[in-house]
Each structure stands twice: as C-alpha cells, then as structure tokens.
A and B are shown apart, each in its own frame.
Chain A
Amino acid sequence: MAFQILLNFFLAFTWMFMTAEYNGLTFLIGYFFGLVILYILRRFFDRRFYIFNVLAAIKLLLIFIRELILSNIAVLKVILSPKLMNRPGIFALETELTKDWEITILSNLITLTPGTLVLEVSPDNKILYIHAMDIKDAEEAKQSIRNTFEKAIQEVSR
C-alpha cells in the first residue's frame, strides 16, 4: 500500500515536471491520472488497489463515530435511571487480529466506546480482557465487537 501511494505521488510530480506548471492544481490532475493508471494496472501489485484501503479506513472512522454516539446514549440511560440495575463484570475476547497496531487500535476503539473497557491483553496477543458495564449482555458485546470493529480493522489491513 505504501509503495502504491509513493508511486502515485511520484507520478503526480512527473506530471508537474512534464507540464512545467508547479502548483497544487497540476499536482491534483497528475495525481488523478496516476490513480487511473494504478487502477488499470492494479493486478500488477501483490496488494490490492490502495484506494480500497483508504475507503476502509474512512469506514472505520464512521463506524467509530456512530458507536461512540450510540454507546454514550446507553451510558446516559444507566446514569439517569433511578435504580442501579447493571452488573459489572470482566470477560475475555479472543481476537483474530495479529499485528501489534491492529490490536492497539481495537483496544482503543473498545475503550473509547463507553460500556466496555480493555483491562489487559494476554502475553501472546490472542485474548483481550474487557471490563463491561453490564455483564448480562457480554455475549452480545462480543458479537458486536467482532462484527463491527474487528472486521473493519481487518478490511483496512488487507
């Protein structure tokens, strides 16, 4: 992915040198044509066309914003309810992610969305220990983490 972005920048600069106009607009035009060339020759690379990774990263950001709003509303409900009905607890989540940065992003996303909090990562990077505000729906939280965050992160690093 990094190689493709670098090559695209390189092509945009080549375009600027060929047209002998050095401004942002020419760079953008060159970048666009570079993008088209890279798309046509995308099977030439080992990795997939990098725009798909960029789109996946944007999607991850949107998912994060949506989850943040939804779970803040959930916490608000718990705080404002007259009786304390929730049962806190800790559960383990086995993750399929392997790279260090993937696990870091997953833990940060779980922590930043209220209701769940990562306490510790097991030494072999396979299990995350998560504190849940309400242990009753731990299984549900597990599923939602798997389906939203883990999938989205895998999509970014593919």
Chain B
Amino acid sequence: MKTNDVIFQTTTKVVLFIIVMFSIFLFFAGHHNPGGGFIGGLMTSSAIVLLLLAYDIKTVKKILPINFLTLTAVGLMIAVLTGVGSFLFGAPFLSHTFDYFELPLLGETELATAVLFDIGVYLVVVGVTMTIIQTIGESE
C-alpha cells in the first residue's frame, strides 16, 4: 500500500534548504573554525538523500539533472589544477597562498587559494556519496 507522505514532503521542502545552507556555512567556516570541504560535502549529500527519501529517484533526477560521476571528475580536476597552479609562480606542487583584498560591498576580505582546493574536495565528496547511494538505490 502506498502511504501518503504529505507531511514528510512538505517538511522536506523547507528543511532541505536549511540543511544546504548549513553545509555552505560549514564549507566556509573551514578556514578558521571546524568545518571544511569534506563535512560540507557530506552535509549537502545528506540533504539530497533526504530528498531521495521523501520523493523517488526519478523526481530527484528531474530536480537535479546532474551526472554525479562527472561532478566527481570536475572536483578532482579543480583540486589538481590548484596544485598545478603553484608551478606558474615557481612554487612546489600544492603550495597555497592567501592575501587580503578590498572587495566592493564586502570590504577587506581574506581570499585564500586553499578555498579553491576545498571546492574540489566538496564536489568529489558530493559526487562519490551520491554515486554510491544512487547505484545501490537503483539496483533491484
């Protein structure tokens, strides 16, 4: 018998966004506080898992038409490129730097190249987790 998931689905509609917001917060907190690309990515994929629980796999594929394998590849590529990028400045592989910039509206902001590496980690974690869960979910 198919049960009515109206309460679950309506709650998901709001809670999903709060979880994703929290994952972004964790991602950016990673430089000075607990957090970072790994836990941020896991939190984002947990939000997508919630979506998978509330709806079926077809709906989620319609909402997020992302090939998670490609996402993993893109994440790895970004991580490697930030490492290779240090060669341009004559520094050893994976050397990272940071500086302070005067941005419009935001004022003085610290921008570190390590964030780019973290974005790569974030995408890989989301991609791998979602690939695992979708592959298990799809097999009958």
Q: Which residues of A contact B (CB under 8 A)?
A: 7, 10-11, 14-15, 18-19, 25, 28-30, 33-34, 37-38, 40-41, 43-44
| B62 in the interface (beta carbon within 8 A) | yes
Smallest CB-CB separation from A19: which chain B residue? B25
Asked whether, in the complex, the Cβ of B13 is within 8 Å of the Cβ of A37, the reply is no
Asked whether, in the complex, the Cβ of B105 is within 8 Å of the Cβ of A43, the reply is no
Q: Which residues of B contact A (CB under 8 A)?
A: 13-14, 16-18, 20-22, 24-25, 62-65, 105-107
A44 and B25 contact, Cβ closer than 8 Å, known pairs A14-B18, A28-B105: no
Asked whether, in the complex, the Cβ of B21 is within 8 Å of the Cβ of A41, the reply is no
How many Å lie between the Cα of A41 and that of B62 in the bound state? 10
How many Å lie between the Cα of A29 and that of B29 in the bound state? 14
B-side contacts of A43, CB under 8 Å? 62-65
Asked whether, in the complex, the Cβ of B21 is within 8 Å of the Cβ of A14, the reply is yes
How many Å lie between the Cα of A30 and that of B16 in the bound state? 16
Nearest CB on B from A121, distance (A): 38
Asked whether, in the complex, the Cβ of A11 is within 8 Å of the Cβ of B16, the reply is no
Smallest CB-CB separation from A8: which chain B residue? B17
How many Å lie between the Cα of A10 and that of B74 in the bound state? 31
Asked whether, in the complex, the Cβ of A41 is within 8 Å of the Cβ of B17, the reply is yes
Highest count of chain A CB atoms <10 Å: which of B21, B25, B64: B21
